[in-house]
Amino acid sequence: MKLFRQLLVAPAALGLLAPLAANAAEVNIKDVASYADLNAEVTTTQFSDVVPGDWAYTALQNLSESYGCVDNAYTQNLKSGQALTRYEAAALVNACLDGGIASAEVTPDAARLANEFGTEMAILKGRVDGLEYKVKELSAGQFSSSTKLSGSAVFTTGAIDGMSLFDDPYKGKTAFEYRYGIDLNTSFNGTDGLYAGIEQGNQDDLVLQDAVTDSTLTVTSLFYNFQVGEFDVTAGPLFDQDDVISATTSIASESFRLSSMPWGAVATTGAGAAIAYSNDSGFNASLSSVSSDAADASKGIWTDGGADIYTASLGYDSDYYGGGLIYTDDDTDTSFGGGIYMRPDGFPTISVAYDTKDPAASGTKSSSHLLIGVDHEVGPGTASAAYTNHDQMGVTGDSFEIYYNYPVSDGLSLQAGVFWEDRHVVKNGSWTTQDATGYLVETNFSF
């Protein structure tokens, strides 16, 4: 008799075997049982175990041998003479028939077992289908598997004294600022990336690095990056000029107040393109063009009326030292600077960077900026200090900062420090400096 006709004359419960999930042999019975409808009717026989000596136990052993069942915990229990629950027996019947029904005839034992455990098999099928539906619901609300989300938040509390030349000087009043950001990175072929940055916050005067002064969620970065041989290409409607500079002029943390390259890495945001090159020798180079007027059709990109900034860099990096040069031209001013860094084992890292700005307007004085930064591991955290000497249009000032970053846990750190600044400000139409002393405590979250 053909297999199809044998199935037709088998008990009706045997029809449940075919649609039952192929992976039912791997189902965790306890987990599946917990998904059951509490109002479902059950009989007392469903709570009785299948023990050695029962006809069903012997039939299961024969079925396991004749149908080549998947070797799992249930077949191991049979071999060792341990009892099975009725749900375990039902899962085993399905696994055996699913694995061997294509190449073996349905035996009387198989038909009788299917009839005996048909109720349990039907319940298992319903619960497995329900679990699969729940998983599909959860998966439908997830990001693409190639998209990674990361984020950060910064709470800043501090006060600034000084600026006495102004009509409303700082009085050392405590202020609280914050910044929140989300980064989304999506890859389409494993070597490319679509990057989107979203930020919101009111950080302004207390924090010079990564300051955000927008009370609404704003897309601050949006660009695409891909590889062409050994070249890294970036293009998009929104990215920062310093995002695509390959050269490293300083490894000072720069997460407090002072920056190393105020004009070379000015961080102009706009549309444009960049190309960077690096190899195993440690040498790297980059060239970029960023326009902050790209969205204005009356000005455009790469025109006399648009605000374009062109940047070229050349650098070298190794495990213990490195440095780089950066040249920028924004159609109005040019800047040229460079820096070196050292990170010897067991000693503080040292960074020295020097940046200059040469205004295009005749008769206007040049500006310069020198930074010396030191970072060193102290206890569980990192202590940092920096000094800058800055000449703005012939007016010189000095600034200092010292701070400590303490990692509370993965993704959470506290940072506290003090700074002394000679700020360059315009008073009565002329550049001058103002003394300011500040105290900051920051809480940094990353996820």
Residues 217-256 have pLDDT tens digits of 899 999 999 999 889 999 999 999 998 999 999 999 888 8
Query: Three-class SS string for 345-385?
Result: CCCCEEEEEEEEEEECCCCCCCEEEEEEEEEEEECCEEEEE
Q: If pLDDT is split at 50, 70 and 90, which confidence band does 58 have? A: confident
pTM of the model: 0.66
Using the predicted structure, report yes or no on whether residue 5 has a pLDDT greater than 50. no
Using the predicted structure, report yes or no on whether residue 263 has a pLDDT greater than 50. yes
Q: DSSP per residue over 64-125, as a string?
A: HHHTT---SHHHHHHHHT--B-HHHHHHHHHHHHHHHTTTS---HHHHHHHHHTHHHHHHHH
Using the predicted structure, report yes or no on whether residue 57 has a pLDDT greater than 90. no
Decide: helix, strand or coil at residue 8: helix
Decide: helix, strand or coil at residue 36: coil
Q: For residues 170-196, give the mean pLDDT.
A: 89
Backbone angles phi, psi at 48, to 5 degrees: -90, 140
CA distance 377 to 76: 55
Using the predicted structure, report yes or no on whether residue 307 has a pLDDT greater than 80. yes
The full set of domain ranges for the chain reads 3-140, 147-446
Using the predicted structure, report yes or no on whether residue 20 has a pLDDT greater than 50. no
Res 266: pLDDT:
87
CA distance 65 to 102: 15
Res 17: pLDDT:
39
How many other CB atoms are there within 10 angstroms of residue 344's CB atom? 10
Using the predicted structure, report yes or no on whether residue 193 has a pLDDT greater than 50. yes
CA distance 215 to 196: 19
Using the predicted structure, report yes or no on whether residue 336 has a pLDDT greater than 70. yes
CA distance 270 to 309: 10
CA distance 34 to 32: 5
**Residue range 147-446 in CATH 2.40.160.10:** yes
CA distance 218 to 430: 35
Structure tokens at 245: 């500079």
Using the predicted structure, report yes or no on whether residue 152 has a pLDDT greater than 70. yes
Using the predicted structure, report yes or no on whether residue 369 has a pLDDT greater than 90. yes
CA distance 367 to 393: 5
Q: Round the average pLDDT of the chain to a whole number and report it.
A: 80
Structure tokens at 1: 């008799």
Looking at per-residue pLDDT, the higher value among 115 and 40 belongs to 115
Q: If pLDDT is split at 50, 70 and 90, which confidence band does 100 have? A: low
